[in-house]
Structure 1
């Protein structure tokens, strides 16, 4: 797939984006959920090798290439690795899956009800490498914990500043100002978030687009204006701690929003499953998430 074909595939939205981007801090938890305890690996190299084995098993499963997964977000070490003897991005594109790379370096301490991204000290070389490896886009996460207008304005400004750097490098940015789904004031805060995003979209030149990855809103179809905006290629939803069933039920209420789930996709996969069991379990999750995305 070339860039135009990948752009069209994401814009069509006939499927969902798999989030396979657990990084250093979240990898032990992801491995534990997969049935690989900390006594089965030692040190970062072995830990990342085990998580790469899991991701490779997901990508090479027959159900992953059934056309319902249209994109996948990777961690840098996954991008740098191989799947079936080929660079991961190439292996994904051969399966009709558009590759994205996680670029943030974790969250800063909370201030004004939000956690901004830590300084992106490795951004320029990572973008250069990602272009060389044939990636289509990037993803950058920050976190909103309360309806603090000042904090939300700061988080959206940071997202768009980094997003413009990504576009300058020739990649498509997924801006991810996640809203904590447990926050009591989420409905109010998501209204502020939408307003700030729309404000920044108006400042983008007409030849630029971004993608948005947002928590499934408290108010159904709140983000319809963003989905329909000409400067937004797609709006995708994170599962945010919901189970697969809960996330799909909430997503179905939001027309035009497609999934980009991690936990919701991987929660029932286990290292101990046979290949047939693994693929059947993965296929069941893929079918339900895709159905909720295109409903």
Structure 2
């Protein structure tokens, strides 16, 4: 059993912390939201009024926060508070989605304080967080990956060491750029099929067993009934919100610019999601982009 400070108990972090508590780890949580802290308490965590208080006596700190600036701030505060303490956390695991450069800057901060760091962003959405079936993509040295692995295994079904610090964030950006392009291409094909008189079920039965198959269709189909658990059956209540997809696409485009990589389809996808979010749809699942495509004639 490990003593874990879990900072960020929202829609992703809350279920992740709950799975750690269910596995009988001592989880010390913090979130700014009273509701999130109450839910974490019900799920077996002990919550505190600050990230620093949650990290007192913790062996491991896991962060799941909205952006890199906040991750750096929270980890910096924890390190400063334990600067002269023999109980400084030995390992920091960041599962937020942030820029590659930010992950590497935070790692330098942690390592300078004598602790260890891995970036471990996730794929799988809220359903994966709840079921403990997330895919973790991890950047860090081999020893730190090995130290983090038993905890990640509680929360995920796939844990991949992607190389050095920042490489977890690198592959997350690449993966979600692919996913965004897939979801848009699928939506365009479905709308075309609708206008040609094609039944959704027939489309699904053929394409899910043919060369056009993808997670965007088989798990996240943007039309109701063909995949009963997809957000389309619940008015596009988000498994992964459009605003978060846009955030990830912006990170991918920043990396593409920095590395002089031509990502034509990625740029198109980023532009479409920017327009969709700007129109007030940021809180809908990213598969709801099909509504924007249907609206165009």
TM-score (norm 2): 0.32
Higher RCO (C-alpha 8 Å, min separation 6): 1
The higher radius of gyration belongs to: 2
Structure with the higher fraction of residues in helix conformation: 2
Structure with bigger strand share is: 1
